[in-house]
Amino acid sequence: MDSVSERPGWLETLRAYRHPRVVTMLFLGFSAGLPLLLIFSSLSLWLREAGVSRSDATYFSWAALGYSFKFVWAPIIDKMPLPGLTRLLGRRRAWLLVAQMAIISAILWMAFTNPANNLAPMALAAVMLGFSSATQDIVIDAYRIESAERRMQALMSSSYIAGYRIGMLVAGAGALKLAAWFGTGEVYKYEAWRDAYIWMAVAMGVGVVTTLLVAEPEVEQKQSRYLNSLPDYLRFLSLFLIAVITLIAAFVYLVPVAEAVNHGLAGLMGEHAITGFIAELVRLVLALLCAGLAARFAITIGVARREVLLETYIDPMADFFQRYGRLALLILALVGFYRISDIVLGVISNVFYQDMGFSKDQIADITKTFGLLMTILGGFLGGSLALHYGVMRILFLGAILSAATNLLFMLLAQSGTDVSLLIVVIAADNLSAGLASAAFIAYLSGLTHISFTAFQYAVFSSLMTLFPKLLGGYSGTIVDNIGYSSFFLITAVLGVPVLLLVYLAGRYMPVEEGDNI
């Protein structure tokens, strides 16, 4: 593996950004960032123009919940070879190529679906895009961690963020620009959005080319004791499919349960968005329980061996708890809530800009293009500072800035269409987001064990987005009830407990020696 010296100078840090592994993460970051906004903000604007309600538009953010459950199929990617491809490209690159081709297929499916009269097929295509994008993330995260030592991860993460944001720019500002150019004025034209999404599928070629050109990480794979033949892999895959199908079916058929819980809570607490959130959370937990019981039954009847389940799911988590002991719960709480302020606000941000009267061109130029530059600057700044002053200190700084900058959105909500203020808000918000993300990715990378890279990082990154995305799905409903200003205040307050979590984690479990806050 590659290495960097302890506490390098600033000039040496800048030179390290030219390292081939660091440059590779720029292009893989682009491939990871491009699909995200095609599910979130760009899709929400498309749906709004097509006449879909604000609440239904923000519900589509749940299509990306695949990012929050990718740990479920991460062991398959870690353990199961792809016939022909794995031998030709290697373990990581084979799965990366398959995931990227699935992403392209999902984007094209969305492109050829008009949500004005085919909302259900659009939802299915969005779910497929979320699932395949999450799969790509699993592989890229494992590739990044396995490609360089821990001290290099801050630079790798900042380069990844730069590429990620460029991909988001293409899917955000690029898609909006293309839709405006192919369309006519502000009148909804399906063909404009169709052509814009087709070009997004073409842009994914960057990731495909990168996958074909880069080298496989030189990491010795831990051999499975129980997965050694094609029948073993097929039984393991069958077990996974049984659990997933049960999860989806249970989630669909438990709607009456969620409605009953919501009705009961509303009778006690009154009609609030939080009652719906709790009801959906109960529904999700019950669906997961059903999936677990189905997997257990499948093992009982011999679909797969119990030892396989222990090796692929239980052993990686046991390793984490053995290494960190009682501090493991503190770490998981920090991982689960660190990005809650940003994600909850981000779900509805484009709808907010549109409601404030900003045009698609202004949204694209300021919030996407200019915002991209600020995020990249923040990412490189965060990576460099983390390398010099330690990950935890920069993680704490990022948490402060992320919560504080959300308060600026309150000013914007009260000022109306103020372009100058929008520029200030976007500059502060994106700079802090880039800084915090670089430190956070480096922190998560340091938590993994090399024998369980894909699964453990998938658990951390899934947990990172689970609760924020569940809550973010209700952002439209919350805004309808309390207004934008109060909503932005709530998102800032949500970041306050995160400061305590970072402080405690830095005090009792420093990632690096001498990295205490």
Please, what are the domains in the chain?
10-217+305-508 (1.20.1250.20), 230-304 (no CATH)
- pTM here? 0.75
Q: What is the pLDDT of residue 5?
A: 43
Over residues 131-158, the pLDDT tens digits come to 899 899 999 988 988 887 766 777 888 8
How far is Cα 477 from Cα 491, in angstroms, rounded to an integer?
A: 14
Which stretches of the chain score pLDDT less than 50?
A: 1-5, 510-514
Q: What is the pLDDT of residue 513?
A: 40
Q: What is the pLDDT of residue 1?
A: 40
Nearest CA-CA partner of 426 in 352, 326, 501? 352
Q: What is the pLDDT of residue 195?
A: 92
Task: Please answer whether residues 30 and 167 qualify as being in contact, where contact means their C-beta atoms are separated by less than 8 angstroms.
Answer: yes
Over residues 163-213, the pLDDT tens digits come to 988 898 888 878 888 888 887 556 788 888 999 999 999 999 999 999 999
How far is Cα 442 from Cα 106, in angstroms, rounded to an integer?
A: 30
Q: What is the pLDDT of residue 4?
A: 42
Q: What is the pLDDT of residue 15?
A: 65
- In DSSP notation, 404-453 reads HHHTHHHHHHHH-S-HHHHHHHHHHHHHHHHHHHHHHHHHHHHH--GGGH
Q: Which residues contact 392 (CB under 8 A, 6 or more apart)?
A: 443, 502, 505, 506, 510, 511, 512, 515, 516, 517
How far is Cα 236 from Cα 299, in angstroms, rounded to an integer?
A: 10
- Tell me the C-alpha to C-alpha distance, in Å, between residue 21 and each of 88, 160, 218, 383, 496: 21, 10, 12, 15, 36
Over residues 306-335, the pLDDT tens digits come to 877 777 788 888 888 888 888 889 998 998
Task: Please answer whether residues 497 and 422 qualify as being in contact, where contact means their C-beta atoms are separated by less than 8 angstroms.
Answer: no
